[in-house]
Structure 1
Amino acid sequence: MRKILFTLSFFVALCAFAAPPRGGKLTIYSHDKSTIRITIDGRRYPLEYNMLVLNDVEPGNHTIKITEVQASGYNVPTNREKVLYNGSVYVRSNYHVDIVINRYGKTLIDEMDINSSSYNEEVYDNDGDYNYGNAISDLDFDALKRSLQQEKFTSNRMAKAKTAISSNYFKTEQVRQMAQLFSFEDDKMQLVKQAYPKTVDRTNYYQLSDIFSFSSSKDALTRFIQENSSNYDNGTTSKTVISDVDFNRVKSNIQASYSDATKLTAAKQAIDGYYFTASQVKDIVLMFSYDANRLDIAKYAYGRTVNQPDYMLYLGDAFASRTSKDELTRYIANYR
């Protein structure tokens, strides 16, 4: 009997030892708000909340194609696709391969050993300081959204949203979706301010400015973040935006210069001493007549801007030529 048990134990151990290696994990995340299509090994996959997560991926090479659906326009066919990435990605056993598409269509690929002591599959930390470990699950968030949508009165919807915020943590994208359930800017602002301390990726909070229609609301959000970031982001350096009084003084100094050369010098000296919002940078840029000077200042000020994800939203129409706009876009995409 003892011999039989020994033989059986040896057989089980041998089978376990000879089991096929665990597959890898593949994550694709898009910061772009455009429609993204993903094809892996010839199969189309949908993106949910701008993210695709595949577990137990067979180790080996996988062909991946990522395209962005272009908006239709004059002489542009509907559903034309721009290729963002088209190549082969090798997924190793027990490794997490992370593909990120930033706001400018640039694709970044990284990997990490799942067995590493620093790995936590509930944490996603790439190109945006994410920490989703404590965020409400997608399933629970969907249920919360449905519950909020069922409330006919704004006051009841807001009260329920605040109750949910008090007992959960959220991703910035989830805060966006909740805010968009409200029609008026004041209500949206009230919600995003309420949710800020309960958001796990607060470095992305500037991205919420695009849910507001008025520049005054966008600027109010930027000021709120700057005034409150140090209260919640321990250990980080607070970048305080130049005050309105100081900014008006800076503009007066630039305007007092007699030539574009001295204007450029005055502007750069001011930029070196303060942090700015993208809206303020645009005000400075428009003080110059020529695209070359505007582009020079726009590039120079980018590193001193607190809401960089919104830079082209404000600066995109500050140039007379498409060439200057495209050059600034490339500069931002390659900025380090």
Structure 2
Amino acid sequence: MKKIYFTFALVLLTCTLAHASELLLRVNRKGQFIVSASSQTQTNNYNSYQFYNLYGGTTQVKVVDKANGQVIFKNNVNIPEGYQLIAELDYYGTLTIVSNNPIASYNNGGWNDNVGTINYGNNGNGNYDGGYQNNHCGTHPNYQGDGYYNQGQTANNNNNFNQFLASLKSESFDSNRLQNAKVYASKTNLSANQIKEIAATFTFDSNRLDWAKAAYTNCYDKGNYFLLRDTFTFSSNYSELQDYISTL
């Protein structure tokens, strides 16, 4: 009888492993995190997480800042049965699929430069409560909502930005432009070039400086902030901007 049970357990284990899926996730931001995939939960000091023996299909993934309980990412991620999915989570809570490989033929065992095109946005907010809320990650490449795919998203963002820029140019006074621009920046991550384009709509250098200081926090490529230098009439204002940034 024991032999029958052992044989049954071995067959069950073999079948389970044969259909297992895997997730390798790297979190590209400072801090310690509690990471869950399906019913598995991990935390460590080096921000790379490996989950094995996951069921194929939709897997619930959640990343929580261990220090303050903030949900950095929460969404459903599709991991095909028998595949190893390698992903990275950026500072803004967008999860990018780096590669998706059949486990039987995959022998690299790590991240590479073959960056995929499907990005999952963060569908979570609030504090970690030890459970999951409903997720709404769609399947259409232009899905928009709390969570989103980045396919087609760049074009949509550019269209929205161009519409906003046109509305700024239609304003008669710098004060109105500055107020509207600050509100827009508080809700939108902007590139240094986009911030430069908005700065160019102002008549006075003092407003350009005020805007450049206010928008810096929401610039996602701060290394390119030097692009704003040409928007200033007086070099002293750009120097003041540099001094301000150096204190942050």
Same fold (TM over 0.5): no
Q: Which has the higher helix share?
A: 1
Instruction: Work out which structure has the larger RCO, using CA pairs closer than 8 Å and 6 or more positions apart in sequence.
Output: 2
Q: Which has the higher strand share?
A: 2
TM-score normalised to the size of structure 2?
0.39
TM-score normalised to the size of structure 1?
0.30
Greater Rg by CA = 1
